[in-house]
Amino acid sequence: MRIEKRTLKSVAVNPVASLAVLAQAEVNDLCAARDGKLFDLIRRCALAVMTSGSYTDNPRELLAAFADFDIAFEHVERGIRIHLSNAPAVAFVDGEMILGVQEHLSSVLRDLVYVTREIEASGRFDPTSPAGITDIVFHILRNANLLVPGHQAGLVVCWGGHAIERHEYDYTKEVGYQLGLRGLDVCTGCGPGAMKGPMKGATIAHAKQRIAKGRYIGITEPGIIAAEAPNPIVNNLVIMPDIEKRLEGFVRLGHGIIIFPGGVGTAEEFLYLLGILAHPDNAEIPLPLILTGPASSEPYFRQLDAFIQEVFGEQFARRYRIVVDDPAHVAAMMRRDTAEVLAFRDGNDDAAYFNWLLRIGEEFQKPFVPTHESMAKLELSRDQPPYVLAGNLRRMFSGLVCGNVKEDGIRAVEAHGPFEVRGEIALMRGIDHLLQSFIAQGRMRLNGREYQPCYRLVK
């Protein structure tokens, strides 16, 4: 583990970007936030964005290293001032907060206050209906200034692991570079590894093409931000309320998706998207999906493909392509395909900046809270529509992510033992084979530590 533990005893910071202009009620909310859920979220997320680059995927290690970190707010004539105590020194240069970190900190406060005040407390939205949830996602993204009308360069969502090998990381950079040369923007989960590499490559390519306003969008959520702190290249950060809205944000914003090697979190994202695309209402809606990595990663993709073919068959498999060791070809295909997506949306009166036409059902939108009870109750059998099974498998993998890297999940597993997952025998065998391959390839944890499973499959 490598966590920078030097701190600054006391420092005041002014908000920037969209948080520089606040309503009086929003200022009051922040100044009053001292106890309870909102303050805890603010403190944890603020600490995460100020420790970007600390190599740990255990949020408790981060919180323990900075147990005396504190944040408070002062109402001043021009709005609000942020007071930090025992803040990580890595976020500062000569006593001044790095501008990118300052922007990320402002994004944290903007989104957490907006969700608490305007989404949860206002009563304006229906969090139980598919249309209401999509409306919530839209308003959060709009408040974060991520919905840009007019001409679209094409936004490519890149998914993949935060703990990949160096040669895999280098490959993600090359893909990002090739995307940037073709004028495409990049959106990721905002963290390290496969989330940082495409952005890093794209920045160089955008500079070569004299693209001054390249977009490097990072979408995260409070439960995972400590394990996947925003990398410094992200210039548009948004914190969604939960993993389901985070995933919906990706697919509503993006014009195409690339999946790099990863672990259970990547499998969760893969199943989420395939389950949506497999719904009959989405059969004609284009959303290109490419799985790619260096030649050494081909077994990983073949295992994923074999699992999908075995469980779901050709209906799912035809919605993605596997391209190995060819970044330029991946980028060229994505450039062509995103142009087709934008043309389709224009021809169907759909917004270029937000995919309204895509149907996302309740099985993919309703927040799933992984507990021992909820994990044990998951229906994992093929006696249900394929997209419903995909939704339940997505929840299972989400539970494994929670048990691996989220504070609540780690505590639950420590207190009550591994999550038990039950299901159809043949399906459990396929899941076990896939997970064992992830473990053997070291895709479940950072820092080379021996993986201790947070789950037990009951056949």
The predicted-structure confidence for 149-170, as pLDDT tens digits, reads as follows 888 889 999 999 988 899 999 9
Q: Which of 25-39, 53-67, 335-349 has the highest mean pLDDT?
A: 335-349
Q: Are 146 and 234 in contact (CB under 8 A)?
A: no
Task: State residue 4's pLDDT score.
Answer: 52
Task: State residue 22's pLDDT score.
Answer: 63
Task: State residue 379's pLDDT score.
Answer: 94
Residue 427 has pLDDT above 90, yes or no: yes
Neighbours of 95 (CB within 10 A): 8
Q: What are the CA-CA distances from residue 95 to residues 64, 90, 169, 442, 452 (Å)?
A: 23, 10, 32, 39, 41
Element at 238 (helix H, strand E) = strand 236-239
The stretch 432-452 carries a mean pLDDT of: 80
Residue 354 has pLDDT above 70, yes or no: yes
Q: Give me the residue spans of the domains in the chain.
A: 7-124, 148-459
pLDDT in tens, 193-206: 999 999 999 999 99
Q: What are the CA-CA distances from residue 400 to residues 155, 192, 392, 456 (Å)?
A: 29, 20, 13, 10
Among the listed ranges 26-35, 226-235, 280-289, 426-435, which one has the minimum average pLDDT value? Answer: 26-35
Neighbours of 378 (CB within 10 A): 19
Task: State residue 227's pLDDT score.
Answer: 75
Task: State residue 56's pLDDT score.
Answer: 56
Both tokens of 70, joined, read 């504190």
The stretch 23-39 carries a mean pLDDT of: 71
pTM: 0.92
Task: State residue 39's pLDDT score.
Answer: 86
Q: What are the CA-CA distances from residue 418 to residues 16, 455, 456 (Å)?
A: 43, 4, 6
Residue 19 has pLDDT above 70, yes or no: no
pLDDT in tens, 98-151: 999 999 999 998 999 899 889 998 899 999 999 999 999 999 999 999 998 888
What is the share, in percent, of the chain residues with pLDDT greater than 90? 66
Q: Which fold has domain 7-124?
A: MCP/YpsA-like (3.30.1850)
Q: Is the alpha carbon torsion for 262, 215, 96, 37 positive or negative?
A: negative
The stretch 397-418 carries a mean pLDDT of: 91
Residue 86: exposure state from Cβ atoms within 10 A (0-12, 13-18, ≥19): middle
The stretch 72-93 carries a mean pLDDT of: 85
CA dist 373 and 203 (Å) reads: 45
Give the confidence band of 57 by pLDDT, cuts at 50, 70, 90. Answer: low
Q: Residue 435, SS3?
A: helix
Q: Are 189 and 220 in contact (CB under 8 A)?
A: yes
Residue 84 has pLDDT above 50, yes or no: yes
The stretch 224-242 carries a mean pLDDT of: 91
Residue 208 has pLDDT above 70, yes or no: yes
Task: State which amino acid sits at residue 401.
Answer: V
CA dist 307 and 439 (Å) reads: 16
Q: Residue 142, SS3?
A: helix
Residue 441: exposure state from Cβ atoms within 10 A (0-12, 13-18, ≥19): middle
Q: Among candidates 171, 162, 426, which has minimal Cα distance to 298?
A: 171
Residue 371 has pLDDT above 80, yes or no: yes
Q: Which fold has domain 148-459?
A: Rossmann fold (3.40.50)
Parallel, antiparallel, or unpaired for β 92-93 and 70-76? unpaired
Give the confidence band of 40 by pLDDT, cuts at 50, 70, 90. Answer: confident
CA dist 291 and 183 (Å) reads: 21
Task: State residue 12's pLDDT score.
Answer: 85
Residue 52 has pLDDT above 50, yes or no: yes
Mean pLDDT of the chain: 89
Helix/strand/coil percent split, the chain, to 5? 50, 15, 35
CA dist 113 and 121 (Å) reads: 11
Task: State residue 11's pLDDT score.
Answer: 86
Task: State residue 80's pLDDT score.
Answer: 80
Rounded to 10 deg, the angle between the 386-405 and 407-416 helix axes is 80
What is the share, in percent, of the chain residues with pLDDT greater than 70? 91
Give the confidence band of 442 by pLDDT, cuts at 50, 70, 90. Answer: confident
Both tokens of 2, joined, read 């490598």
The stretch 369-379 carries a mean pLDDT of: 95
Among the listed ranges 77-81, 306-310, 403-407, which one has the minimum average pLDDT value? Answer: 77-81
Residue 17 has pLDDT above 70, yes or no: no
The stretch 290-316 carries a mean pLDDT of: 93
Residue 448 has pLDDT above 70, yes or no: no
- Cα first-last separation, the chain: 36
Q: What are the CA-CA distances from residue 247 to residues 241, 260, 360, 402 (Å)?
A: 11, 16, 11, 15
Q: Report how many helices (DSSP H) and strands (DSSP E) the chain contains, helices first.
A: 17, 14
Better pLDDT: 329 or 60: 329
Task: State residue 75's pLDDT score.
Answer: 80
Q: Is the alpha carbon torsion for 202, 48, 257, 193 positive or negative?
A: positive
Task: State residue 1's pLDDT score.
Answer: 42
Q: Among candidates 290, 324, 296, 320, which has minimal Cα distance to 308?
A: 320
pLDDT in tens, 253-271: 999 999 999 999 999 999 9
Give the confidence band of 53 by pLDDT, cuts at 50, 70, 90. Answer: low
